[in-house]
Amino acid sequence: MKYELYYWPEIQGRGEYVRLALEEAGAAYVDVARGPRGSGAMMKMMDAHTGMPPFAPPFLKAGKLVIGQTANILLYLGARHGLAPKTEAGRLSVHQLQLTITDLVAEIHDTHHPLGPSMYYEDQKAPAKKRTAEFWDERVPKYLGYFERLLAGNGGSYVSGRRLTYVDLSLFQIVAGLRYAFPKRMKAFEADIPGLVGLHDRVAARPNIRAYLASERRIAFNEQGIFRRYKELDG
């Protein structure tokens, strides 16, 4: 079966967490909106008036299934491709961690759009500055400190132990994204999260991920995505 991933074609965004899982699994997939059918095909799926069309991208078509919500897609892929524990308890705890990453991603987005996604960044620069300061003073240490603690407590290789799960792929993306968006702040902070930095490097060195990162399938970070580099927000 060839999966169909539906996501905005110009950005990594939330679609990237799914792309990383598909790539690590070596799964066959098409990134539909980046192909000839474009974003129109994605909008058409969401506009359906029957069934349960997804509210927003990313979503994944797997045969007859259409699965929305990043963490939900990963729950599905994790079980099918050995990217999650086999026990129910293990699968639930990894899903719980991914939902925590979902919350973190929303807060990262809100650093540049604290007043909401409908207004331009340029029209919310002052609140963005305030929000970013709070994010780095309080929220980054709390979220990343949490994952750092889990890593140390579970042996240090991967978050849930010796085996990689999709959560590790997502944490790689968080570290890479924060480095892109806030190079100065992240450089100063990294001494507090040696475990996560090591995890980032271990994930980047995995053969399928390394090949993906070097390919054209990996869209470069840019200022339309979740991680945006605005000099005035970087300290």
Closer to ligand GSH by Cβ: residue 104 or 193: 104
Q: Which of 136, 132, 115 is nearest to 124 (CA)?
A: 115
13 binds ligand GSH (CB under 6 A): yes
Is residue 177 within the footprint of ligand GSH (CB under 6 A)? no
Question: Does residue 14 interact with ligand GSH by CB under 6 A?
Answer: yes
Identify which of 23, 124, 37, 110 has the alpha carbon closest to the alpha carbon of residue 74: 23
Which among 108, 98, 115 has a CA at the least distance from the CA of 181?
108
Taking the least distance from each CB to ligand GSH, the nearer of 114 and 195 is 114
Distance CA 119, CA 136 (A): 23
- Amino acid sitting at position 227: F
* 56 vs 188 by CB, closer to ligand GSH: 56
User: What is the three-class DSSP state of 22?
Assistant: helix
Number of residues near ligand GSH (by CB under 6 A): 8
Task: Please say which residue, 131 or 193, places its beta carbon nearer to ligand GSH.
Answer: 131
Which residues neighbour 218 within 8 Å (Cβ) at sequence distance 6 or greater?
12, 19, 212
Q: Give min distance, CB of 78 to ligand GSH, in A.
A: 15
Binding mask 47-86 for ligand GSH (x = CB under 6 A): ---------xxx----------xx----------------
> Residues in the site for ligand GSH, rule: CB under 6 A?
13-14, 56-58, 69-70, 102
